[in-house]
Structure 1
C-alpha cells in the first residue's frame, strides 16, 4: 500500500544513518573542515567500510525505487533518479583514494540533484524546487569561490537534505495513487 514511500524513505534514511554513525565514530571529523567523503577514504579512515557501504546501499535503493515505482509514472524523473542512485553508489565504490575519478562522480551526483530540482520545478510548474536549486548554486559558489565553509561536508549535507522533501513528495504521491486503485 505505501511501499513506494517506505522504500523511498529507506533509500535516504539508511545512508544518512550510516553517515551519522561514521561521523560519531570519527572524533577527528569536522562538518566545517572536512568533506563527507573523508570518512570513506579507504586508507585514512577506519570507518570507510561503514560510510562507503551506506552510499552503495543508498544508491541501490534509489535505483530500486526508480525502477519499481517511478518508471511507470514519469520516465524522465525515473531516469534522473537512476543516474543519482548509480552515481551515489559510485562515490562509495570510488572513494577519495581514486582522486579525480571520485571527484568526477561526486560532481555528477551533486549536479544531478540540482537537475532533479529544476526538472521538478518545470514539470510540476512549481517555483520552490527551482529556488532550492538556485540556493544549491549559491552554496556551492560560496564554497568553491570563497572557501566558505572550508570543507565540503556542509554544502553536501545541505544539497542532500534540501533534495529529500521533493524526492519524498514524489513517492508520497505515488503511494496515494497506488492506494486509490486497490
Structure 2
C-alpha cells in the first residue's frame, strides 16, 4: 500500500486525537494513584520510577508512537512548500520520538533521561512556534496557529517561574500543546470527511 495514502488516512488522523488523550489520562491516573506526588516538589518523570511506572511510561510511549505517523501525515497534507511549516512539523515529529524516549529511558538512565526530557520540551515548544508563525497567512489554519503560539507563550512563562519542582511547568507546557495537536487532528479529520462526501 502507498505510504502516503496510509499516513493521510482517517485512521492515522485519529491517532492525533487518541495519542494525546492516552498520555493525559495516563499522567492523571498515575498522579491519582500516587499520594506522595507533589506538584511543587516533584517532576512528572518521578512517576516513571515508582509503583505506577508502567501506567506513566507506557502512556508516553504509546502517545509518541501515535503522534509520529500523525505528524508525518500532516507534513504530507499541509506543508505545502512552506519552509517554516516544514521546520515546525519536523520539530514536532522529533518531539514525538523524544516523548517515546522519556518513557523508555526513565530517571534511572540519568543523563540520557535528562537529554530526552529536555529535548522533548524544547522541540515541542519550538515546533509549535514555527508552525504557528507559518499559519498567519493561511486563512484555514490561522486560528489554530494563534492557539499554538499562545500555548508556547504559556509554556515559556511557566518555565520562567520558580515553582519549586518542575511538574507544574511540565504540565503547563505539555497539556496546552497536546490540546493544540488534538484541535489540529479534529480539523484534519473534518477535512478528510468533507473531501470524501
- TM-score of the two chains, using structure 2 as the length reference: 0.79
Aligned match of 1:119: 130
Match of 2:75 in 1: 71
Residues 26-77 of structure 1: CA deviation (Å, up to 9, x unaligned): 1111122111000002xxx11112211111111101113123x313213525
Unaligned runs of 5+ in 2: 1-8, 80-85, 137-144
* Higher relative contact order (CA closer than 8 Å, sequence separation 6+): 1
Aligned pair count reads 173
Q: Could you tell which deviates more after superposition, 49-58 or 117-126?
A: 117-126
Residue 22 of structure 2 corresponds to residue 14 of structure 1: yes
Aligned to 1:145: none
Question: What does residue 58 of structure 1 align with?
Answer: 63
Give 4+ residue runs of structure 1 displaced > 6 Å after superposition: none
TM-score by length of 1: 0.85
Q: 1:128 to 1:70 in 2, by over 3 A?
A: closer
Alpha-carbon spacing, 1:29–1:103, altered in 2? closer, same or farther (3 Å): same
| Match 1:167 to one of 165, 178, 181 | 181
Whether the 8 Å contact between 1:4 and 1:174 is mirrored in structure 2 is no
Is 1:49 the counterpart of 2:71 in the alignment?
Answer: no
